[in-house]
Structures are given as C-alpha cells and as structure tokens.
Amino acid sequence: MSSSSSSPCAACKFLRRKCTQGCVFAPYFPPDNPAKFSHVHRVFGASNVAKLLNDLAPAQREDAVNSLAYEAEARLQDPVYGCVGYISVLQHRLFMLQRELYAANKELSAIIGRASVAAFAPNHQFHAGAGIGLGLGSQPMTYRDQNQYDQQEEQQQMFNVQQLAEAVAAAREQEMREIERLMADGGGVVPEASSTMIVAPQQHNLHHNHHHHHHISGSHEGRSGVGPSS
C-alpha cells in the first residue's frame, strides 16, 4: 500500500496525483508495472475503473483488475474483436479436438468389434470340421475327451471375453480423461461417443451363447449316431 513517504502506485503516477493511504488503485497497480494501468486506462478509463473497484468487495477486486488488464491488452492488440477473437480461436480448437476424439473412439469401437469376431472364427471353423470328420467315419471322442475339450474351449472363450472387456474399459477411461482435460482447458459440448463402445461386448456374449448351444447339440448327436432330421 502506497503513502506519501513511498513510491506512488502506477495509477497515481500516471495520473500525476498524490497516492494516499486509502488509494483504491495501489494494491493492484504496483509502480514497477506502469503498462498495466496504462492499458486499462486507455480502454476503460481511470474513473470507471475506480468506480468498479469501490463497488466490489475487497476479495473480488484483484480478479476484477486482472480481467480488466487482460481485456484491455487484448483490445489494444485487436481493436475489432479484442479478447472475444482469442476466445473464439480457443473454442474452435476445442471443437476440432472433440471431433478428433469422437472419430478416434468410433474407430476404436469398430476395431474392437472386428477383433471379437475374429477371436471366435477359428474355433467355429474347427468345430464344424470336427463334426464333418465324425460323419465320415473318424474315431469319435469319448465322453471324457469331449468334456475336457469343452472345458478348455470355454476357458479360452472366457479369457477372450475378459481381454475384450479390459480393452473396452481402458478405452472408456482414456476417453473420460481426454474429455475432462478438454473441459478443464476451455469447456464446450462433447459429442456422444461412448454409446458405441458397449456394443461389441454384447454382440460377443450373444455369439458365445449361440455357439456353445450349437456345440452341445452337435456333441450329443455325434455320440448317439442320430443326425438332425431333415
């Protein structure tokens, strides 16, 4: 705080007046930064700034001065748009980042869906080939061998499902982190990209249940020697 025995604040020095003990400018316009008050005075006027500070609570004055200084500097650099132009640029960047994030999540969802289908295609083809071999006179599996094969196949399928679920969870967590970071930087509306991320596990479970039922039915028919009725 300035007084008659110390250096006047930047505002009083600029206005060429005595800086008193209760100067409203002194706490926010130090003498070592004269450009700050000069910019604010050119854009808003010293009397308007003094009136604004007197109307505010002391706890709110520092934030108000910082906002005025930022807006004044932006207005002097860009007389047409001021700080609004810079805010528009940041909003556009945020929008483009959100679009890129949405496209990346959509592509990731498609990749996970293809991976879930490819993980079960070899098992299905092997199973169909085994059934054809039994029909052509190959030695049938015993009940113990068939049961052991079923358990191994089910364990492998459960492992694949677990890996797929972990991949989806990791993708969702990364998506939420990116959205939180973008919102913390500038705010904005985030496109809905997470709805596609839960489709692949559901389709995967339906495919698994249908395949397991088909496998059990084929096993009983192979053991009994009775094929499906035409």
Range scoring the smallest mean pLDDT among 41-45, 58-62, 167-171: 167-171
**Would you place residue 103 in the very low, low, confident or very high pLDDT band (cuts 50, 70, 90)?**
very high
The answer to whether residue 187 scores a pLDDT higher than 70 is no
Q: Are 40 and 26 in contact (CB under 8 A)?
A: no
**pLDDT for res 192:** 42
Please, which pLDDT band fits residue 112 given cuts at 50, 70 and 90? confident
Q: Which two tokens stand for residue 101?
A: 């994030």
Q: Please say if the pLDDT value at position 215 is more than 60.
A: no
Residue 158 has a pLDDT of 67
Residue 146: pLDDT above 50? yes
- What average pLDDT does range 201-222 have in this prediction? 44
Cα(55)–Cα(60) distance, rounded to whole angstroms?
Answer: 10
pLDDT in tens, 86-100: 889 999 999 999 999
Report the distance separating Cα 139 and Cα 177, nearest Å: 56
> Computed from CA positions of residues 78, 81, 82, 83, in that sequence, does the dihedral angle turn out positive or negative?
negative
Quote the pLDDT of residue 159: 72
Can you give the pLDDT at residue 122?
57
CA angle, 122 then 169 then 95, to 5°: 115
Q: What are the pLDDT digits (tens) for 47-99?
A: 999 999 999 999 999 999 999 999 999 999 989 888 888 889 999 999 999 99
Q: Kindly tell me if the per-residue pLDDT of 24 is higher than 80.
A: yes
Kindly tell me the sign of the dihedral angle through the C-alpha atoms of 32, 72, 61, 53: positive
Contact 196, 106 (CB under 8 A): yes
125: confidence class by pLDDT, cuts 50, 70, 90 = low
**What are the structure tokens assigned to 103, written together?**
């496209």
What pLDDT shows up at residue 165? 66
DSSP 32: T
